[in-house]
């Protein structure tokens, strides 16, 4: 059986972490989003919003973390591994803020290829902001558009997960993979 490294992506506040957490509860192998870790570590060092203050450094730290996640997923015993956000997410956010980036970001998107990419659409009814999610709902919709465009530019066929209960969304993903 071929290893499946599956991305769950979408704009902020679309339910990605909730789905990943529930998949973990069900015994699936998952790797969580790492941007919050990086943001919290920067806060400890006195940088309030690393993504806004030093976007390239933030993106480089994310890239290294996501490469490690990819390699760990590929070497894991599980046939299917879910990851909360992939390497192209980094470029989508860089496009969103209008920042340029070195070519090694593009090379990483081409080198580290995922089996499937599930994308969660903007969903205003469940959207909330918090200390690590500074975007408003309108910005979240723009980020979603950048995510779609970026993944498609790297040749991915995006699988949009319909809105519904967490269970319905997980069933949709698992049924699609079976």
Rounded Cα distance between 12 and 76, Å, is 28
Query: Residue 176: what pLDDT?
Result: 96
- What is the architecture of the domain spanning 4-177? 3-Layer(aba) Sandwich (3.40)
Q: Residue 48 corresponds to which tokens in the numbers above?
A: 């309030």
Write the DSSP symbol of residue 121.
P
Query: Residue 52: what pLDDT?
Result: 73
Q: Tell me which residue has tokens 């970001």.
A: 105
Query: Residue 35: what pLDDT?
Result: 84
3-state secondary structure of 114: coil
Q: What's the whole-model pTM score? A: 0.90
Question: Cβ(28)–Cβ(82) under 8 Å?
Answer: yes
Name the residue ranges covered by the structural domains of the chain. 4-177
Compute mean pLDDT per 10 residues along the chain, 178 residues long, and list them.
90 91 97 87 82 83 94 95 96 89 94 97 74 70 95 97 96 96
Three-state secondary structure string covering 51-62: HHHCHHHHHHHH
* Angstrom distances, CA of residue 62 to CA of 12, 55, 94, 157, 178: 16, 10, 12, 23, 31
């Amino acid at each position: 059986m071929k290893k499946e490294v599956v991305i769950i992506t979408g704009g902020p506040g679309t339910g990605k972490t909730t789905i990943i957490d529930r998949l973990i509860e069900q015994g699936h192998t998952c790797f969580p989003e790492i941007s919050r870790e990086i943001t919290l570590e920067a806060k400890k060092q006195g940088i309030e919003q690393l993504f806004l203050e030093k976007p390239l450094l933030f993106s480089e730290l994310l890239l290294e973390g996501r490469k490690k996640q990819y390699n760990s997923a590929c070497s894991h015993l599980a046939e299917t591994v879910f990851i909360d956000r992939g390497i192209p997410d980094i470029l989508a956010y860089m496009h969103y803020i209008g920042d340029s980036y070195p070519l090694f970001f593009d090379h990483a998107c081409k080198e580290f290829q995922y089996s499937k990419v599930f994308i969660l659409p903007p969903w205003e009814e469940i959207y909330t902001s918090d200390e690590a999610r500074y975007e408003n709902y309108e910005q979240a919709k723009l980020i979603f558009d950048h995510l779609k465009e970026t993944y498609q530019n790297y040749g991915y066929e995006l699988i949009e997960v319909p809105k519904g209960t967490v269970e319905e969304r997980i069933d949709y993903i698992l049924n699609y993979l079976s």
